[in-house]
């Protein structure tokens, strides 16, 4: 299934996940769960720090199969338990500007009769950045991770 | 008095204001008060919309003596009553990216024996934007407005 982006600044991925929103939200916000699905295998997530409140830091470090580490620092902007999560890489912590504001992630978890309609939006500041993100493999990368997420929550 | 910026991305203005933080915070957050000091006279503030919560919109429209209007949309990122206010123009509303993220304002209100140590920081994403803001007259403009603010709260 797919949802149309609401603007040419946006990339969107959706899934129906066979678990209730509470579990999918936990997988997004508990570091030990986040580490199990966030990076597309064989990449791994070596660090996941989650300070879950507006202005709280989130730091995720992804590690390549060769052992190279890629830190992704960001800040949560909005947290609605079991429903919505918003964060951006425009700040590395509250309110330290990142070298380049690239995107804002808006993740929603909607209950559909015990399943979750999962929607991940990446909203960019420029069309060029949206295109770049698309060419970097947004749909494939976030898609693989969404599959890993769906597998994990089935076991929870 | 002055405070040194903590980085070359930052512009800072400080004042000791002869009123408690509660009043200065009200002047920053109640539209009818905000309108009385926010624009350097003879400019006026024709619209002040304040949705005071992380993710809430703030829209201020300044009007030139000739009647031309300049809307300044933004979003609050952090609200600590009587203590701190953070907003940015990087979003026009939650979470719609602005054409250009220019700065984040961090305003603090510290109690100093019944007076307020007022600190207004403008934190930019690039040194070029910090310089531009400085050349646009940040210190003079925000200084005049801080004086107007100080005058207003004395009468409250």
ipTM of the complex as predicted: 0.93
**pLDDT, one tens digit for every residue, chain B (156 residues):** 556 777 899 999 999 999 999 999 999 999 999 999 999 999 999 999 999 999 999 999 999 999 999 999 999 999 999 999 999 999 999 999 999 999 999 999 999 999 999 999 999 999 999 999 999 999 999 999 999 999 999 999
Q: 3-state class of B72 per DSSP?
A: strand
CA gap A117, A111 in Å, rounded: 6
Chains A, B: CB contacts within 8 A come to: 60
Closest CA–CA distance from residue A78 to any residue of chain B (Å):
7
CB B87 within 8 A of CB B103: no
pLDDT in tens, A43-68: 999 999 999 999 999 999 999 999 99
pTM, whole model, 2 decimals? Answer: 0.94
pLDDT in tens, A90-116: 999 999 999 999 999 999 999 999 999
pLDDT at A142 over 70: yes
Helix ranges (DSSP H) in chain A:
21-29, 31-37, 127-135, 138-154
Q: Is A55's Cβ below 8 Å from some Cβ in B?
A: yes
pLDDT at A125 over 90: yes
| Torsion (CA) B132, B135, B139, B140 in degrees, nearest 10 | -140
Q: Is A137's Cβ below 8 Å from some Cβ in B?
A: no
- Greatest C-alpha distance within chain B: 42
Q: Read off the tokens for A54.
A: 């507006």
CB B80 within 8 A of CB B64: no
Across the interface, whether the CB atoms of B9 and A97 are under 8 A apart is answered yes
CA gap B118, B15 in Å, rounded: 5
Which residue of A77, A90, A125 is in closest CB contact with B55?
A: A77
- DSSP letter string, A10-53: EEEEEEEESS-HHHHHHHHH-HHHHHHHSSPTTSEEEEEEE--S
Burial class (CB in 10 A: 0-12, 13-18, 19+), A47: middle
Across the interface, whether the CB atoms of A95 and B101 are under 8 A apart is answered no
Across the interface, whether the CB atoms of B90 and A90 are under 8 A apart is answered yes
pLDDT in tens, A71-85: 999 999 999 999 999
Element (H, E) at B123: strand B115-124
CB B72 within 8 A of CB B61: yes
CB B64 within 8 A of CB A46: no
CB A13 within 8 A of CB A110: no
| Torsion (CA) A131, A133, A135, A138 in degrees, nearest 10 | -130
Task: Please name which of B47, B91, B102, B101 lies closest in space to residue B69, comparing C-alpha atoms.
Answer: B47
Q: Residue A98: list chain B partners with CB under 8 A.
A: 125
Q: Residue A104: list chain B partners with CB under 8 A.
A: 91, 95, 97
């Amino acid at each position: 299934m797919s949802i149309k982006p609401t603007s040419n600044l946006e990339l969107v991925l959706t899934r129906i996940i066979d678990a209730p929103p509470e579990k999918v939200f936990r997988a997004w916000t508990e570091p030990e769960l986040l580490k199990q699905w966030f990076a597309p295998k064989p990449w791994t997530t070596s660090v996941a720090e989650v300070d879950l409140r507006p202005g709280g830091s989130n730091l995720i470090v992804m590690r390549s199969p060769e052992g190279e580490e890629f830190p992704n620092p960001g800040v949560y902007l909005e947290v609605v338990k079991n429903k919505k999560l918003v964060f951006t890489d425009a700040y590395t912590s509250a309110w330290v500007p990142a070298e380049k504001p690239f995107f804002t992630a808006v993740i929603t978890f909607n209950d559909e009769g015990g399943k979750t309609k999962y929607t991940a939006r990446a909203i960019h500041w420029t069309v060029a950045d949206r295109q770049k993100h698309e060419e970097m493999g947004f749909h494939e990368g976030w898609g693989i991770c969404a599959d890993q997420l769906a597998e994990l929550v089935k076991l929870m």
